[in-house]
């Protein structure tokens, strides 16, 4: 069943890669990319191109989605819109209302700065456009809930970039949690860290506004710093597996000062409604992050170490916790691929429910409130 370790899928597939134009993110996971040739055509618009994932998304669409045509690109920064439109062989549309009114455009990809999400998401929902919006959904819990309600009312497709749900080890652990293999889960610990601040990934690049990611280290625009940027991914996994959080205690830190008062690291203690105790770590100042997830229960234990899963459960043959567990499900398509598949008519795509996306914002907002006040914050 798991006697010979297989090549594991690293948990940091969001890892930034150097490109000629700056820094980009791998937007797709290998092995699960191509669209079916018989899928119906999809016409998209990019609405905001500020996010560091944008170049990777453009490469994905150009290389792997022959059924997708990007018709229009809008961004409040005209130079950025022109650059991305050229890469997509699309037209710049400076008037958002024309995108909302265009019946040919059935879906939008929102990669704007986070403080612009609310207006763009509400506009797209009102126009009946399917929505892929980068994480986090919003700046605050209140505006995220407003967006979630609008999307639900409009009955449009939605997902966001919680790529960790596609990783085989995560899917296996989710299934085992649902099956009760761990018995009573007592604690869960998650970590998601990289060296982005140490490496200057968010430094401004004068003269190339289409490759500037500096806004991501400005909480007035992004709503979060390093802890929230990376922590939201692992928070999603922890809530996906363990349910709602009822209380948060957190601390954040400025470490290098490279981005002023923007936090670069943090840790939170999470109290789940189920009684599980959780800890969440995230930072931009780690040179390694070998232990990504641990789950401990009365009948089972799991640890993800350097991308390898170690699973111990007396009820399951071979699950001795001593060797990497390799009996895993296949990797799923990346979130943007899932979204495009769903818009093209494929059923069963595991899109992230919009109210789950909003719930992650609410918990992260509580964590930052706790860090500022030094007090625990109860979820309302």
Distance CA 311, CA 330 (A): 18
Is residue 236 pLDDT above 50, yes or no?
yes
Is residue 4 pLDDT above 80, yes or no?
no
Is residue 35 pLDDT above 60, yes or no?
no
CB 171 within 8 A of CB 165: yes
3 inside domain = no
Same-domain status, 190 and 139: no
Is residue 34 pLDDT above 70, yes or no?
no
pTM for this predicted structure: 0.91
336 inside domain = no
Cβ contacts of 350 within 8 Å, gap of 6 or more = 165, 332, 338
Same-domain status, 305 and 173: yes
Owning domain of residue 205:
163-331+352-378
Query: Could you tell me the pLDDT band of residue 18, with boundaries at 50, 70 and 90?
Result: very low
Task: CATH number of the domain at 89, please.
Answer: 3.40.50.720
Same-domain status, 170 and 130: no
Query: Beta strand pairing status for 291-297 and 301-305?
Result: antiparallel
Same-domain status, 87 and 145: yes
213 inside domain = yes
299 inside domain = yes
At residue 207, the pLDDT reads 84
Distance CA 227, CA 368 (A): 9
Q: Count structural domains, the chain.
A: 2
Is residue 169 pLDDT above 80, yes or no?
yes
Is residue 14 pLDDT above 70, yes or no?
no
Same-domain status, 356 and 216: yes
Same-domain status, 139 and 174: no
Distance CA 363, CA 367 (A): 6
Higher local confidence (pLDDT), 30 or 129: 129
CB 248 within 8 A of CB 239: no
Which residue among 104, 134, 159 closes a domain? 159
| pLDDT tens digits, one per residue of 324-333 | 999 999 999 9
Same-domain status, 307 and 229: yes
340 inside domain = no
Same-domain status, 62 and 198: no
1 inside domain = no
169 inside domain = yes
Which residue among 127, 159, 191 closes a domain? 159
Same-domain status, 209 and 324: yes
Task: CATH number of the domain at 357, please.
Answer: 3.30.360.10
Is residue 11 pLDDT above 60, yes or no?
no
Q: How many CA atoms lie within 13 Å of 320's alpha carbon, on the beta-carbon side?
A: 6
Which residue among 135, 159, 183 closes a domain? 159
Nearest to 226 by CA among 273, 198, 263: 263
Query: Could you tell me the pLDDT band of residue 353, with boundaries at 50, 70 and 90?
Result: very high
Same-domain status, 77 and 136: yes
41 inside domain = yes
* Span 91-99, average pLDDT: 98
Q: What percent of the chain has pLDDT over 90?
A: 87
Same-domain status, 370 and 273: yes
Distance CA 123, CA 145 (A): 15
Same-domain status, 153 and 197: no
Query: Could you tell me the pLDDT band of residue 224, with boundaries at 50, 70 and 90?
Result: very high
């Amino acid at each position: 069943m798991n006697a010979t370790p297989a090549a594991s899928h690293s948990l940091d597939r969001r890892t930034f890669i150097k490109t000629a134009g700056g820094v980009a993110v791998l937007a797709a996971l290998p092995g699960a990319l191509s669209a079916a040739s018989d899928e119906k055509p999809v016409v998209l618009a990019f609405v905001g191109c500020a996010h560091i994932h944008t170049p990777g998304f453009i490469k994905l669409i150009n290389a792997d989605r022959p059924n997708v045509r990007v018709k229009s690109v809008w961004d409040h920064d005209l130079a950025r819109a022109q650059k991305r439109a050229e890469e997509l062989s699309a037209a710049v549309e400076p008037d958002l209302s024309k995108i909302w009114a265009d019946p040919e455009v059935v879906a939008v990809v929102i990669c704007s700065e986070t403080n612009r999400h609310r207006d763009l998401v509400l506009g797209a929902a009102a126009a009946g456009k399917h929505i892929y919006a980068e994480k986090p959904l919003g700046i605050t819990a209140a505006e995220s809930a407003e967006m979630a309600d609008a999307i639900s009312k409009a009955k449009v497709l939605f997902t966001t970039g919680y790529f960790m749900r596609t990783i085989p080890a995560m899917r296996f652990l989710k299934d085992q949690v649902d099956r009760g293999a761990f018995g009573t889960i007592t604690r869960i610990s998650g970590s998601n860290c990289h060296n982005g601040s140490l490496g200057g990934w968010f430094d401004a690049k004068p003269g190339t506004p289409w490759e500037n990611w500096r806004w991501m280290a400005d909480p007035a625009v992004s709503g979060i710093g390093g802890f929230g940027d990376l922590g939201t991914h692992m928070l999603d996994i922890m809530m996906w597996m363990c349910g709602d959080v009822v209380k948060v205690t957190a601390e954040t830190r400025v470490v290098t000062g490279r981005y002023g008062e923007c936090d670069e690291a943090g840790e939170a203690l999470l109290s789940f409604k189920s009684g599980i105790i959780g800890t969440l770590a995230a930072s931009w100042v780690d040179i390694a992050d070998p232990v990504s997830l641990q789950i401990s229960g009365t009948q089972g234990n799991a640890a993800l170490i350097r991308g390898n899963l170690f699973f111990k459960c007396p009820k399951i043959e071979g699950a001795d916790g001593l060797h990497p567990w390799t009996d895993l499900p296949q990797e799923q398509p990346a979130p943007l691929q899932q979204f495009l598949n769903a818009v093209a008519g494929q059923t069963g795509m595991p899109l992230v429910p919009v109210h789950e996306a909003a719930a992650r914002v609410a918990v992260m907002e509580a964590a930052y409130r706790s860090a500022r006040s030094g007090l625990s914050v109860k979820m309302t």
